[in-house]
Structure 1
Amino acid sequence: MSTQTLIYLFVGASFALYIGIAIWTRAGSTKEFYVAGGGVNPVVNGMATAADWMSAASFLSMAGLIAFSGYDGSVYLMGWTGGFVMLALLLAPYLRKFGQFTVPDFIGTRYYSSVARTVAVVCLIFISFTYIAGQMRGVGIVFSRFLDVPINTGVIIGMGIVFIYSVLGGMKGITYTQVAQFCVLIFAYMVPAFFISALVTGNPIPQLGLGSTVNDGSGTFVLQRLDESLQMMGFPAYTDGAKSRIDVFCITAALMVGTAGLPHVIVRFFTVPKASDARKSAGWALLFIALLYTTAPAVAAFARLNFNGSVAGTPYAEAPGWFTNWERNGLIAFTDRNGDGVMNVANGDPFTGTPAFAPGVGPSGERLVSNPPLPGNANEVYVDKDIMVLANPEIAGLPGWVIALVAAGGLAAALSTAAGLLLVISTAVSHDLLKSTFRPNISEKNELRAARIAATCAILVAGVLGIYPPGWVAQVVAFAFGLAASSLFPVIFMGIFSKRMNKEGAIAGMVAGLSVTFLYIGWFKLWNPDASTADDWFLGISPEGFGFVGMLVNFAVALLVSRFTPPPPPEIGRLVESIRVPRGAGEAHAH
């Protein structure tokens, strides 16, 4: 059976499974649509949360980013995993004890204000649409290569699949679909990692293989060989970092705090029966997430090592099949600048730049890149970072069924998170804006209809963002984390742990934090990208890390405004006490 047939078989079977689960678990009430009825088992919820959390950025882009950033890419590993611990300990149990449907629900009630609820909805929509752009881009990349269609067509196909099981099943359908997607994506990530680790080092466990010697009898360690090969091509050593200390700190902190403020992850903890189950499901989710995150550095190193050996110095006429496969989709390219017909890989643009393909082909039959080379730049190869995990099995020469499995896994990762984000957006519109703010007397049937209409509109917007993304997948997702860190996390944190924080402070903090962060990211990434260098950044902090500064602005503005405005009503203090103090603690203290 051909590899292409296997891809159709694996992807088709996984889609049939997801849609079948959505039909089987169709939501019949708003509670089932919003929080799956509130009765999901903690282990099941842990798997669903892991799938919701491990998006296209985790599956597709993170290892590719580390492969080309080396040591600097570790900020994503530290930030995302550390953030989940913060979420599990600081927020999840308390929000579950609060017992509502959504994050804006908590903010609107805790800050006794429909304006605060509306501002929270605006923040949530900003975050979710930024995040979902990366997921739809990931879907388009997978489809473009493995179903041999343009990226834009791939995005549209992905929109259709997500529409079926998110609009039909709601949170109930998404929860059980995400359990299946977790099984698919983790299996798809681990199997090729075992294979490649065994081929490169002789040790099938990738976490151990990364610290082992290369399987060629030389006694050279993997990272040592990788450092040597990169330095020969003019790149910095893989194990050296180029980012400043303050930027590493801010990116890591922004990703951590942003994780704890992501609405589509927080809402998962409303689906379990009680607060203790929220903590348990967070623990299970962390265990399931660790399977992928501890494997990613090894996948990245093996991918870069195999890429260097497969491409650098190879005549284009003898280019491996995987190279020409990805070249057809515009995600890898070669321009023969010196006319020797050999693919020279060297440090410089467009290796990490954006491709701009000239019409036609070059004298060696290559796809041309029209980016003007930098002075003295000998690089002739462009590669999209987001393809490395998907191309890894092909580069290593693994069997066709492994390639097909990775295709299904990449789609599972992107679709699971996209569905969760779409549900959060539709819930914010139908429940937080319509039901709780503008039409409190709306019937449950009409509210459910409004939620499905909102989800449909959100899918259309998500598709446009997937076709015109503001960056590569992990970068776009990092921006979403920065927006979450600067807007929602501070007001949730202060809402739980500060009785004095009032509605005026919360609203001012959210507006200030979101505005500062969005304007900073927009200036350097959308409106003035040519100025996006460390010399131009505020204190050397990159747009990916500025969410931490936005968070500090949020806290400062909120605390300052609350100090000069009236304190919250007494019942809000009692609400905060009931959220924070375990049931029965007051009686025990009295005795």
Structure 2
Amino acid sequence: MPAEYALSNVWVGIGVVIALFVIFYGVGYMASRKTASDEDFYAAGFSIGPVTNGLGMAATWASLATFLGVIALIQKLQVPFVYLWIQWAISIPLLTLLYGTSLRRMKAFTPATFIKARYGKGSTIMIVCWMVLIMVMYALGQMIGLGRAFELLFGVPYNTALIVAGVATVGFITLGGMYGASYNAAFQMVVMTIAMIVPMGAIMKAMGSSGWWFPPLAYGDMVPSMLEKIPTFFDMKYDFRWYFALIPAFTLGPVALPHLAMRVFTSSSVKSARWAVVWFTIFLGLLFTGTYVAGFAGNYFTAVTGREIAKPDQTVLILNVFYNPTLVAAFVMGGALAAGLSTIGGNLMAIAGLVGNDLLGIIAPNLESKKKVRWGYVALAMGGVAAILLAFKPPKFLVTSILWAFGLLATTATPAILLGVWWKEANKLALMISSFVCGVIFIVISPHVLPGICVGKGLVAALGMSGGMVTIPLSFAMFIVLSIVFNRMSALSAYAPTLEDKKVIDRIHGWGEHYEETRYNGVTVPIIISIICLAVFIWGLQPW
């Protein structure tokens, strides 16, 4: 008999959800009273401290998938999933080290703010379009998850649950702006961590673990028993290229995620941004290792009881219904909702910043601050409505769309940001050509648009890993080579970086007005990088 999620008293679950939304709206209302300028709305006045920001980063990164889809993938991939997860997790520290603190010095609202200062209007429009597409895909996945969760809790049809969940969610996020998104995300991370770890302690104790008192790390005594039940659980199941492909697809993609970068930008100082990463690592480490324990326990539960988990993405919910009281099971559902809400908040704030500040700054550069804020609210609400409408009939590849979007982002935006921050030779026309061409190629060679044209097969193609092995190194190599060529063609001198463009780089790295032409201006290292990228590109084209 398959195990399914069902609360014995649905009103307990409804009560937990209502209580959480009351808190979210309360925080949003208090935050709205502090929002008076575009800096307040888009960057929380650059005033968020390291602990709050660390919690907010972790919450925005975690998403509803941490409680649902991620555990389903652990059920399928088992140990190899740990490697995939590590690539996601290190993207925030890399983001901060590679460009986050540099752009914090220029008080950027989004990465596209830097793109405009460094490359100009045409490049900004292209990058904003790619980022908005990816943010809508990201928010769409969370919105569908919320609709499913409300469907389970309230016992109503999916469409009705989606409308209720969507409107309630977009309402408190729109009300609070970045202040509300930051403080709500911090609270949501606390709820998530408690909901994941504490109930799992009771579950592990019931399963016979002596390390139940700290589930994230102390379940090792169950390993021999697990190997008896599932001998292949810890096996390395794929070849080296599969693991290497995680780097371009799942490390370089999230590095450019605007809603994660915006967390760094809201910091009260560069030092605060760096310390926020330390707190992020601690908080996310607790949550993610707790999530892996839930996947471990789900496999063990099936092996011991013989009961298949009907819907793998409900594993942690089913385990709590089976082993814990109704109130605890309902609280875990509340934690899952908090995970989805925190990510949607970040997604919608990113859309608001990209459209309301970056795109509008090109269309109407002299718009006053209050009107920018007003348009930011409009863009935020419209992004939420778009996600709700798309969620009624979601794309068939939704399960993998968020991960696939990482590969698209790494192809189209990551080279623009990283090379723009660290290399003065980066050329705006080279950026537009490489971003557009390689972005289109990534879409074409994925299995989701033109199934007959695909690099790789199965999960490696669906997740964007095989496509990323082709287009991401190609994008970096094309950008570097074209920049070197175009900068030396007098006919294309209008696209070459100007002296002011180059000064931007020195300033964001903390050199102030002490400009030096040779700093960040060599071509030897970029050429070496492009050669390595071309080698990876050829390797990625080989049959999978």
TM-score normalised by structure 2 residue count: 0.85
Contact 2:188 2:338 in 1 (8 A): yes
1:171 maps to which residue? Answer: 178
Counterpart check, 1:570 vs 2:499:
yes
Contact 1:128 1:425 in 2 (8 A): yes
1:560 maps to which residue? Answer: 481
Separation in structure 2 between the aligned mates of residue 300 and residue 536 of structure 1, nearest angstrom = 22
Deviation for aligned residue 1:543? 4.2
1:249-398 paired onto structure 2 within 5 Å: 249-312=244-307, 383-395=310-322, 397-398=323-324
1:362-398 per-position Cα deviation (integer Å, ceiling 9, x unaligned): xxxxxxxxxxxxxxxxxxxx83332122222113x21
Contact 2:138 2:402 in 1 (8 A): yes
1:52-201 paired onto structure 2 within 5 Å: 52-111=60-119, 113-200=120-207, 201=209
1:476-555 paired onto structure 2 within 5 Å: 476-521=401-446, 524-528=447-451, 534=456, 543-545=463-465, 546-555=467-476
The one-letter code of the counterpart of 1:555 is F
Separation in structure 2 between the aligned mates of residue 117 and residue 475 of structure 1, nearest angstrom = 27
Query: 5, 12, 23: which is aligned to 1:17?
Result: 23
Separation in structure 1 between the aligned mates of residue 295 and residue 165 of structure 2, nearest angstrom = 26
Q: What is the identity percentage for the equivalent residue pairs of Structure 1 and Structure 2? A: 26
Contact 2:455 2:461 in 1 (8 A): no
Separation in structure 2 between the aligned mates of residue 295 and residue 474 of structure 1, nearest angstrom = 22
Separation in structure 1 between the aligned mates of residue 383 and residue 62 of structure 2, nearest angstrom = 21
Contact 1:299 1:389 in 2 (8 A): yes
1:455-510 per-position Cα deviation (integer Å, ceiling 9, x unaligned): 22211211133333335766222112112211211111001110111211222222
The one-letter code of the counterpart of 1:206 is P
- SS of equivalent residue, structure 2 residue 448: helix
Q: Highest Rg: 1 or 2?
A: 1
Separation in structure 1 between the aligned mates of residue 52 and residue 337 of structure 2, nearest angstrom = 21
Separation in structure 2 between the aligned mates of residue 25 and residue 499 of structure 1, nearest angstrom = 40
2:230 maps to which residue? Answer: 227
2:12 maps to which residue? Answer: 6
Query: 32, 35, 42: which is aligned to 2:40?
Result: 32
Q: Closer, same or farther in 2 for the Cα pair 1:383/1:472, shift >3 Å?
A: farther
Separation in structure 2 between the aligned mates of residue 224 and residue 144 of structure 1, nearest angstrom = 37
The one-letter code of the counterpart of 2:375 is A
1:356 maps to which residue? Answer: none
Counterpart check, 1:429 vs 2:355:
yes
Contact 2:102 2:510 in 1 (8 A): no
1:388-427 per-position Cα deviation (integer Å, ceiling 9, x unaligned): 22222113x2111110111110110001101110111122
Separation in structure 1 between the aligned mates of residue 164 and residue 397 of structure 2, nearest angstrom = 20
Aligned length: 497
Higher helix proportion (structure 1 or 2): 2
1:391-406 paired onto structure 2 within 5 Å: 391-395=318-322, 397-406=323-332
- SS of equivalent residue, structure 2 residue 233: coil
TM-score normalised by structure 1 residue count: 0.79
Contact 1:84 1:256 in 2 (8 A): no
Contact 2:506 2:512 in 1 (8 A): no
The one-letter code of the counterpart of 2:221 is S
Separation in structure 2 between the aligned mates of residue 226 and residue 261 of structure 1, nearest angstrom = 41
Separation in structure 2 between the aligned mates of residue 248 and residue 466 of structure 1, nearest angstrom = 32
1:414 maps to which residue? Answer: 340
1:513-562 per-position Cα deviation (integer Å, ceiling 9, x unaligned): 322222223xx124429x8795589xx75543123432212111211221
Contact 2:16 2:334 in 1 (8 A): yes
Q: Closer, same or farther in 2 for the Cα pair 1:105/1:136, shift >3 Å?
A: same
- SS of equivalent residue, structure 1 residue 469: coil
Deviation for aligned residue 1:568? 0.9
Separation in structure 1 between the aligned mates of residue 457 and residue 41 of structure 2, nearest angstrom = 48
1:248 maps to which residue? Answer: 243
Counterpart check, 1:455 vs 2:375:
no
Contact 2:140 2:387 in 1 (8 A): yes
Separation in structure 1 between the aligned mates of residue 269 and residue 461 of structure 2, nearest angstrom = 40
1:214-258 per-position Cα deviation (integer Å, ceiling 9, x unaligned): xxxxxx724313415xxxxxxxx2223443321222134411111
Q: What runs of 5+ residues in structure 2 fail to find an aligned partner?
A: 1-6, 488-495, 517-544
